[in-house]
Amino acid sequence: MEQMIISLLPVFLLLAIGFVSRKTGIIGEPAILGLKNVLIKIGLPAALFSAFATADMRVENGWIFLFVFLFCVVLYGVGGLLHQLLPGLFPDEYTNGYFTGFEFGMIGIGLFTAIWGMEKLPTIAMIALGHEVFIWFVYVPVLEARKTGRIQLGNTLRNFFRTPTVVAILLGIGVNISGTYPLFSSKLLGQALINGLKITSGLVAPLILLVIGYSFTFKRIPLGKSIALLVTRWAVVLAIGTLLLSLMLRLVDVDPFFSTAFFAFILLPPPFILPLFMKPALKKEIAFFSELLLYYTVLSFVAYVVFMTIQA
């Protein structure tokens, strides 16, 4: 219990600082946008490169990639099925987009490293790899096609290779698979660069938590529909995720921390990019999901407290 308090108290303190900063005007919107740019273009790429460069990339771990990818596909299908079968409870067109995916970048990395440390990030990075491929090559193209009425694969590929976090992941995987990381890290210049990346990565957790706390607005949204969406997604994700984890543990030889990392991953909220890819005409639905994602984020932090209490 003492260790849990030591790990979680700084997390909630940083969230509170961000929230109070917005309420009091200590930090303005332009400063927050600047911090987001630092995170997206510098902090997150540094952390992700280091994580994937040192992750366990054995061929047999391909099962993890495949199952997580399929997990996201199934969740998308479940969301669509609920919308069709129970339109009274799940009336929104983008219910399937809400039911799948996890906000690994802007929440997962910061929260995970704040609690378990940067040295554990490669474990959750292996889990996130199948998810990131799903997001970029299924989720984004499908939502974009629904928004514009056409599939823009070329545009998706261009954005994919222009995104700093994606480039960092690809470089990290390349260095890992080629076996050059140990050689690189044995040289003086390489050690200096790796230490620089570690220092930069250390910015990620506090800045992300500060930005998240700043974003909490807690506007009123329909209660019944919100509860239905929140409770059902939690139930579906945890039920299917638990079955998936038991299957992966039978097929893949992983370290004991893997189960903790997997649950930490699936407790994350849906992708924050969902409202950006919704049809502009659905203004009420966009506003609703934008706020619902914030409420889900708060519940995710509560879930982490419960999860760590069970582990303690």
Please write the tens of the pLDDT for every residue from 161-179. 888 888 999 999 998 888 8
Average pLDDT over residues 130-141: 92
For range 61-83, the mean pLDDT: 96
Letter string b/e over residues 157-168, b meaning 16 or more CB atoms within 10 A of that residue's CB = eeebeebbbbeb
What pLDDT digit, counting tens, does each position of 253-273 carry? 888 899 999 999 999 999 999
**pTM (2 d.p.):** 0.90
Percent of the chain surpassing pLDDT 70 = 97
pLDDT classification of 77: cutoffs 50, 70, 90: very high
Contact 265, 104 (CB under 8 A): yes
The pLDDT, as a whole number, for residue 148 is: 78
Average pLDDT of the residues in 55-65: 87
pLDDT score recorded for residue 225: 92
pLDDT attached to residue 58: 83
**How much is the pLDDT for 69?**
97
Tokens matching residue 239: 């039920």
- CA 78, distance to chain mean position in Å, is 20
Mean pLDDT of the chain: 89
Degrees to nearest 5, angle at CA 72 with 139 and 243: 175
**CB neighbourhood size of 13 (10 A):** 13
Query: Are 267 and 300 a contacting pair, CB within 8 Å?
Result: yes
* pLDDT cut 90: percent of the chain above it: 55
pLDDT at position 201: 86
Residue 264 CB: number of other CB atoms within 10 A? 24
Domains of the chain: 2-311 (1.20.1530.20)
Residue whose tokens read 């919704």: 278
pLDDT at 247 over 80: yes
**pLDDT over 70 at 2, yes or no:** no
Of 118, 92, 122, 124, nearest in space to 268 by CA: 124
Is the alpha carbon torsion for 305, 128, 111, 26 positive or negative? Answer: negative
Greater confidence, 48 or 160? 48
Show the CA angle centred on residue 98, arms to residues 92 and 100, nearest 5°.
140
User: What torsion, rounded to 10 degrees, do the Cα atoms 7, 12, 18, 20 define?
Assistant: -140
Going by C-beta distance under 8 Å and a sequence separation of 6 or more, which residues neighbour residue 299? 230, 234, 269
> pLDDT tens for residues 203-245?
888 999 999 999 888 888 888 899 999 999 999 999 999 999 9
Name every residue whose Cβ is closer than 8 Å to that of residue 304 and which is 6 or more positions away in sequence.
Answer: 8, 11, 111, 115, 264, 267
| Whole-number pLDDT of residue 301 | 93
Give the model's pLDDT for residue 312. Answer: 64
pLDDT at 135 exceeding the cut of 90 = yes
Whether 295 shows a pLDDT value over 80: the answer reads yes
| Separation CA 123–CA 127 (nearest Å) | 7
Distance CA 150, CA 142 (A): 9
Q: In this model, does residue 311 exceed pLDDT 80?
A: no
Q: Distance (Å, rounded) from C-alpha 48 to C-alpha 53?
A: 8
